[in-house]
Amino acid sequence: MCGIAGCIGYPERDRLETAIASAMRSIIAKMQNALKHRGPDDQGLYISGDRQAGLAHTRLSILDLSPAGHQPMSTDHGRYWITFNGEIYNFRQLRETLIAQGEIFHSQTDTEVILKLYQKHGSNCVNHLRGMFAFAIWDDQEKTAFLARDPLGIKPLYYWQSGSTLLFASELRTLIASGLPPKILNPKGLYTYLISGSVSEPDTLIQDINALPAGHWLQWKAGQTTQQQYWQIQFNPQPIPPTEAKEQVRQALIDSIKYHFVSDVPVGVFLSGGIDSTSLVALARQTQLGQLRTYSIAFEENQWNEGPIAQRIAETFETDHTEYILTSKVARQLMNQFIGAIDQPSIDGFNTYCVSKIAREHGTKVALSGLGGDELFGGYSSFQQVPKMVAWGKRLQFLQPLNLGRLLSQWTKNPKLQRISDFLQHPPNSFNAYLSYRGIFTHPETLQILNHFCPQQDTSTLRPTLEIPPCPSPEDEVSFLEINRYMRNQLLRDSDVMSMAWGLEVRVPFLDRVILDTIDTIPHSLRLSQGKQLLIQAVPELPDWVINKPKQGFLFPFDRWLNDPEWNELFQLNSIPQLSLTPWYRRWSLVILQKWLCNLGISLP
């Protein structure tokens, strides 16, 4: 896991070459400095001879810890240069195939494998890669740049284009640190944040800075860029007996976990006490010999504390377990650091920040997370509630002339009912129901807040849309939405940024291509059976007391901490429209936004 950045096609070509070289180096150095936390072990720069390209890299050494893994890395004759962030789990098999075809390698890294694959297959190289990745390759002969991001968007990649110039980086803040993109709020990105608690790609909170969408590549040539999608999850159910589906999932999970433990440094597991993380620990015992490290967060407040059950799981599977007890006072002391680590605001992330801290301080550089299990196996109540909302919305369409949604909004100020009234004023489809179900603020409330932050902007066309490919069932539509909205824009993004704040690599075995290729053919009646029954049956090692425990999630007692006097100063808000700020996450979302804007130097109204 690393940090990458680059500048392609510097605009001021009419200046003296020495001035151009100086400016290019200054821009790249600024971006590299902003990425130091992502790669504390090594750093490198490359600037092409004609000053058309500059690449930066900061390295967290995981595979081949020797200097042979230094980046940016080039092919033998210096034509191709790469800066790469991520892990390719099948790199050894790919390496053997390439060696059999006559390729010569100088390192034991997956980075060199990507270079050789691109040299051989061009843009099709991405279809050979199993793993998480964001990388850029500069072709110094053809003067082209190729950027790619992994299929699920596990690793981030942002870019900014102005004229013929292209900047890219692992983090939004890195692009801003270059000094080139203007720090102007993007109303569309802000809208999605207020609606859902995270910014939906490809937008960001800064105008003209975009996220390269998951499963896409981008090519720069002669100042022009083109994008292409190379992967998208599709559900194609096939008839399959339940016993066979269970065995397929089990074998895919074991295979994925085995590959996700490939590392030249210690690997641990985040253990929350739920089904997903316990499954990882249970199956890791099938593939890993010797010591297995696990890490969890515990609280003084019993209502949120899953420390005891995580401890019991650790004892059952004989792991070397570390528990971090997070009190209100300790959390408050960490909060300013956490806010300073935010790349883009979200209402989540503090959990990963805290558990990553304790893992890194105990000598672990790689940790596995159970992220993705709920989205793939139907672990959220949204899988039941969203289809119900759509069905009721369709039944109530005959009352449309009465404008039932508007009447409901006038009758109640309850935030939950306000979101339902908002849904009833839009077409009753899965996307609109999902926005309402997962929502923070309603559409009218969001426009009020937007008019406060961006008073001169036209907000009439900001409501988001998402094209859902044909799905065999409403439940599959919800799975698609959970993967492409909540998981990608919030969970994966927070997991990356908050772990990298401590120089820790987080891997997500549930989001391996082998698992996805396995589950996409399993009918929803099996795959999304309530209570994640397919996953439970695939991992019979799960104790009954884990399976039967009420689902809680990795939650923090923020609503209680809000009443602690030590937290009062943090949660003070500037003047905003008169809106209900309960439940707690509505106030929290605005506080985090306000702090982020201040840290970025964007003046508030």
Task: Please state, in angstroms and rounded to a whole number, the distance separating the CA atoms of residues 466 and 476.
Answer: 15
pLDDT of residue 573: 81
Task: Please state, in angstroms and rounded to a whole number, the distance separating the CA atoms of residues 490 and 504.
Answer: 18
188 three-state secondary structure: helix
**Burial group, residue 385, by CB count within 10 angstroms (0-12, 13-18, 19+):** middle
Q: Worst-scoring range by mean pLDDT, 3-12, 166-175, 557-566? A: 557-566
pLDDT of residue 21: 57
Task: Please state, in angstroms and rounded to a whole number, the distance separating the CA atoms of residues 348 and 352.
Answer: 9
**Burial group, residue 581, by CB count within 10 angstroms (0-12, 13-18, 19+):** middle
For the chain, the helix, strand and coil percentages under 3-state DSSP, each to the nearest 5 = 45, 15, 40
Q: Are 36 and 15 in contact (CB under 8 A)?
A: no
Token pair 């650790």: residue: 314
The percentage of residues in the chain with a pLDDT greater than 70, rounded to a whole number, is: 91
Residues 6+ apart with CB under 8 A from 91: 63, 109, 110, 113, 131
β-sheet with 158-162: strand ranges across: 42-47, 53-59, 2-8, 165-169, 158-162, 209-211
Range picked from 13-22, 176-185, 284-293 for highest mean pLDDT: 176-185
pLDDT of residue 367: 95
Q: Worst-scoring range by mean pLDDT, 76-80, 345-349, 418-422? A: 418-422
Per-residue confidence band for 11, with pLDDT thresholds at 50, 70 and 90: low
> Residues 127-148, buried b or exposed e (16+ Cβ, 10 A)?
ebbbbbbbbbbbbbeebebbbb
Which residues have a catalytic role annotated?
2
For the CA atoms of 73, 257, 341, 501, the dihedral, rounded to the nearest 10 degrees, stands at -60
Average pLDDT over residues 26-47: 92
Q: Are 148 and 86 in contact (CB under 8 A)?
A: no
Q: Are 311 and 321 in contact (CB under 8 A)?
A: yes
Per-residue confidence band for 18, with pLDDT thresholds at 50, 70 and 90: very low
pLDDT of residue 17: 46
Q: Are 135 and 83 in contact (CB under 8 A)?
A: yes
Q: Are 255 and 516 in contact (CB under 8 A)?
A: no
Of 447, 452, 481, the C-alpha closest to 466 is 481
Q: Which helix (H) or strand (E) holds 22?
A: helix 17-33
The percentage of residues in the chain with a pLDDT greater than 90, rounded to a whole number, is: 66
**Burial group, residue 365, by CB count within 10 angstroms (0-12, 13-18, 19+):** buried
pLDDT of residue 303: 58
Report how far apart, in Å, the C-alpha atoms of 402 and of each of 410, 448, 560, 567 are.
13, 25, 41, 45
Average pLDDT over residues 465-486: 93
110 is in an annotated binding site: yes
Quote the pTM value: 0.94
Mean pLDDT score of the chain:
89
User: What backbone torsions phi and psi does residue 366 show, to the nearest 5 degrees?
Assistant: -135, 135
Q: Which helix (H) or strand (E) holds 444?
A: helix 443-453
In single-letter form, the type of residue at position 563 comes to N
